[in-house]
Amino acid sequence: MTIPPNKSRERIDTFLAREMARYSRSQIQTLIKAEKVRVDGRTVRSNYIVRPLECVTIEVPKPREHDLEPENIPLDIVFEDDYLIVLNKPAGMVVHPAHGHSSGTLVNALLYHCSRLSSMHDTTRPGIVHRLDKDTSGLLLAVKDDEVHRGLARQFSDKTVNREYKAIVWRHFKNRSGTIETMLARSTRDRKIFTVAADGKHAVTHYQVLEQFDFLSFVSLKLETGRTHQIRVHLSHMGHPVFGDQTYGGRGRQLGGLNHERTAFTNMLLEALPRQALHAQTLGFLHPVTGEHLFFTSELPDDMQFVLDALRKKKAEWQGDKA
């Protein structure tokens, strides 16, 4: 394509993302990094400023066929139409294949269930718009069409998707509600985990305390951004790691300050909950095709409900002892 003669200053990735509506800005940036975009025959970077009458050539490779195997894994489907699917992901299920998880994932199950899935991401993540950690349960959205995928990805980027989580966390909060705002980045010591770091990506989590127990709290959390492990890192950073979270300090290391009775009670709860007590409970968004506002909610899974019921019962017993 030729840059219009009256074109104002603009980055090439922004310009192409608007002119090539089928592709997202991140896809354009990937093409630029792969040297598939040239200006007057020269490769450029994403921040290159286009100039009037320049000739831009874009080489778009054909989509690769994925080599993932469909697997007949049951899905807890909440909603489905010709364009998208909303489902309840159980704790323990990996969303898409990665190192150490080549099968048994949500993607393998979706490939068996759906005749088509969007191809916006690499071949290991067909249909995936957003993710949940392996041991986080709850509502997750997948899409069947690239245009729908782009529309939903834009809503996530614009922070208009309603996502609310429920969690059981350690200790009481100083304030009953608040906002956690930091920068998050991969740990330099362990690339599998994330940490608060000045050179990271902006992350914002809003919290509200729903109930307080002897040494735990039940909280509601709303995501403003969606960084990897965001809730778990933010809560750990505040000194309130998610109950049962082995990676971010929510398991054994918190037992030190408890007496014998409370230690035995907590160990019983941890045995009943072999994962972090985090559940994606609500999901709301605008359907990119029908324009309908969709809102879904998911009940707490049995393991978290068991812990919550046990905490409520024990709280009443301990309050009765004090009286």
Task: List, for residues 253-270, the tens digit of each pLDDT value.
Answer: 788 778 899 999 999 999
pLDDT at residue 124 above 80? no
Residue 126 CA, distance from chain mean position: 16
pLDDT tens for 114-123 read 989 998 766 7
Say if pTM beats, i.e. exceeds, 0.85. Answer: no
The 3-state secondary structure of 97-151, one letter per residue: CECCECCCCHHHHHHHHCCCCCCCCCCCCCCECCCCCCCCEEEEEEECCHHHHHH
pLDDT at 191: 78
pLDDT tens for 160-204 read 999 999 999 999 999 999 999 999 998 888 878 999 998 888 999
Residues 6+ apart with CB under 8 A from 18: none
In this structure, are residues 172 and 217 in contact, taking their beta carbons and an 8 Å threshold?
yes
The end-to-end CA distance of the chain, in Å, is 79
pLDDT tens for 4-25 read 888 888 999 988 887 875 677 7
pLDDT at 69: 87
Q: Please, which pLDDT band fits residue 40 given cuts at 50, 70 and 90?
A: very high
pLDDT tens for 126-148 read 899 999 999 999 999 999 999 99
Nearest of 163, 166, 134, 108 to residue 305 by alpha carbon: 166
DSSP 16-62: HHHHSTTS-HHHHHHHHHTT-EEETTEE--TTPBP-TT-BEEE--PP
Which tokens go with 107?
């993607």
Q: Please, which pLDDT band fits residue 57 given cuts at 50, 70 and 90?
A: very high
Evaluated on CA atoms 296, 151, 207, 277, the torsion sign reads positive
Average pLDDT over residues 210-218: 96
Enumerate the active-site residues.
133
Q: Please work out, in degrees rounded to the nearest 5, the angle formed at the alpha carbon of residue 138 by the alpha carbons of 135 and 144.
A: 110
Q: How far apart are alpha carbons 265 and 176 in whole angstroms?
A: 25
Q: Is 167 helix (H, G, I), strand (E, B) or coil?
A: strand
Q: How far apart are alpha carbons 205 and 263 in whole angstroms?
A: 30
Percent above pLDDT 90 for the chain: 69
Tell me the backbone φ, ψ of residue 26, rounded to 5 degrees. Answer: -65, -35
Domains and CATH numbers, the chain: 12-58 (3.10.290.10), 63-158 (3.30.2350.10), 159-323 (3.30.2350.10)
